[in-house]
Amino acid sequence: MRTILLAALLLPGIAAYNQDVKNLKDESSRTIKKDPKDTANKMWKVGGLYNLNVAQGSIKNWAAGGDEFSLALNSILSVYAFYKKDKKSWDNTLDFSVGFVNTTSLGSRKNDDRFDLLSKYGYSIAPKWNLSALFNFRTQFFPGYSYSGTGKTLSSDFLSPAYVLLSPGFDYKPNDEFSFFISPATARWIIVENDFLSSLGAYGVDPGQHTKFQFGAFSTISYLKALNPVVSYKGRLDLFSNYLHNPQNISVYMTNLLSVKLSKALSASWNVDLIYDDNVKLFGPNKNSPALQFMSIVGIGLALKF
């Protein structure tokens, strides 16, 4: 306020002394900074990232060989909404990604499909520690197949599988970027809605059943960081041990997204996922063994950060 009054007093004097027009314009358009105390603290922090990567190739009469046509499309949407007021906090993240590949020799195939919603409510009980409750829902939308020389076999579908997790526990949050949540008592449901996959007992459900209940220990580590104005990273690691069956076989779910801004509308991204679940027995020579699942997608394309 004092700055405004001072400017109002000085400007007529500057004009009276015939200062040049440019200096007068600069002075009158000067930005006045607001006192931070006059602005209410924001309770919500929201944002996200959207990437759309497209790659296309065509050949004709090409001696080195290859597919005459190929098209790859990958889309990643990652958003967050964080709430903080007094001792209460509510963290929400949503990751949705889908990708397809089409070639003349293989046809259309899915190479990525994930919907992952995580919501965590916390109440501060000590510096950097919250008493929290966590909810997680994870599935995919489109049918997925495993391929062999004799054809293809359905391996996944909408809500087949899906995972629902409810977990009360303790959350260590030294800052807004890092979180370590741990719970000794977590309820987890495996859902297999597709009748064909249910009849096979896929993903750990009993043959013919559509759900499987598990109870065990759970922990998750999440990290969201803008490393600099150009590079940002988002990562999460989930660990679950089922007390009711083979608690020594820990389920692992890890996702990583590294984004590099190339220009205002273009970016490069690298998405790496690792999954191990003893109930997913789709691998090995006889397609009946669990294995470490690995996926890596590198792309350059349209990027929107908000």
pLDDT average, residue stretch 157-186: 96
Whether the predicted pLDDT of 96 surpasses 60: yes
Whether the predicted pLDDT of 66 surpasses 90: no
Q: State residue 212's pLDDT score.
A: 97
Q: State residue 294's pLDDT score.
A: 93
Entry field: residues in the chain? 306
Q: How confident is the model at residue 11 (pLDDT cuts 50, 70, 90)?
A: very low
Q: Please check whether residues 32 and 76 belong to one and the same domain.
A: no
Q: Please check whether residues 76 and 204 belong to one and the same domain.
A: yes
Q: State residue 116's pLDDT score.
A: 97
Q: Are 257 and 235 in contact (CB under 8 A)?
A: yes
Token pair 């104005």: residue: 229
pLDDT average, residue stretch 176-184: 95
Q: Please check whether residues 99 and 13 belong to one and the same domain.
A: no
Q: State residue 276's pLDDT score.
A: 96
Q: Please check whether residues 56 and 30 belong to one and the same domain.
A: no
Q: Are 213 and 237 in contact (CB under 8 A)?
A: no
Q: State residue 103's pLDDT score.
A: 87
Q: Which residue has the higher pLDDT, 106 or 142?
A: 142
Whether the predicted pLDDT of 23 surpasses 60: no
Q: For the beta carbon of residue 212, count every other beta carbon within 10 angstroms.
A: 20
Q: Are 37 and 293 in contact (CB under 8 A)?
A: no
Q: State residue 21's pLDDT score.
A: 36
Q: Please check whether residues 13 and 52 belong to one and the same domain.
A: no
Token pair 């065990």: residue: 216
* Confidence (pTM): 0.81
Whether the predicted pLDDT of 10 surpasses 60: no
Q: State residue 70's pLDDT score.
A: 86
Q: Are 220 and 188 in contact (CB under 8 A)?
A: no
Structure tokens at 216: 């065990």
Q: Which residue has the higher pLDDT, 53 or 216?
A: 216
pLDDT average, residue stretch 46-57: 87
Domain span including residue 197: 40-305
Q: 107: which residues sit within 8 A by CB, 6+ positions away?
A: none
Q: For the beta carbon of residue 109, count every other beta carbon within 10 angstroms.
A: 14
Whether the predicted pLDDT of 181 surpasses 50: yes
Indicate the number of domains in the chain. Answer: 2
Terminal alpha carbon distance of the chain: 33
Q: Please check whether residues 191 and 299 belong to one and the same domain.
A: yes
Q: How confident is the model at residue 24 (pLDDT cuts 50, 70, 90)?
A: very low
Whether the predicted pLDDT of 112 surpasses 60: yes
**DSSP code per residue over the chain:** -HHHHHHHHHHHHHHHTT--HHHHHHHHTPPPPPPGGGSPPPSEEEEEEEEEEEEEEE-SS-TT---SEEEEEEEEEEEEEEEEETTEEEEEEEEEEEEEEEETTTEEEEEEEEEEEEEEEEEEEETTEEEEEEEEEEE-SS-EEEEETTEEEEEEBTTBTEEEEEEEEEEE-SSSSEEEEEEEEEEEEEE---HHHHHTTGGGPPTT-SEEEEEEEEEEEEEEEE-SSSEEEEEEEEEEEETTS-TTS-EEEEEEEEEEE-SSSEEEEEEEEEEE-TT---BTTTT-B---EEEEEEEEEEEEE-
Q: Which residue has the higher pLDDT, 146 or 34?
A: 146
Mind listing the pLDDT tens digit for each residue in 136-160? 999 999 999 988 777 888 999 999 9
pLDDT average, residue stretch 172-183: 94
Q: Please check whether residues 269 and 132 belong to one and the same domain.
A: yes
Q: Phi and psi (nearest 5°) for 265?
A: -120, -5
Q: Please check whether residues 31 and 162 belong to one and the same domain.
A: no
**What value does the mean pLDDT of the chain take?**
85
Q: Please check whether residues 99 and 206 belong to one and the same domain.
A: yes
Q: State residue 5's pLDDT score.
A: 35
Q: What is the largest CA-CA distance in the chain?
A: 93
Q: State residue 41's pLDDT score.
A: 54
Strands 293-305 and 178-191: unpaired
Quick one: how far is CA 174 from the chain centroid?
21
Q: State residue 3's pLDDT score.
A: 40
Q: Please check whether residues 74 and 213 belong to one and the same domain.
A: yes
Q: Which residue has the higher pLDDT, 235 or 104?
A: 235
Mean pLDDT is lowest, of 5-14, 136-145, 200-209, for: 5-14
Q: State residue 198's pLDDT score.
A: 96
CA separation for the pair 95, 271 (Å, rounded)? 12
Q: Please check whether residues 212 and 280 belong to one and the same domain.
A: yes
CATH number at residue 160: 2.40.230
Q: Please check whether residues 183 and 59 belong to one and the same domain.
A: yes
CA separation for the pair 191, 194 (Å, rounded)? 9
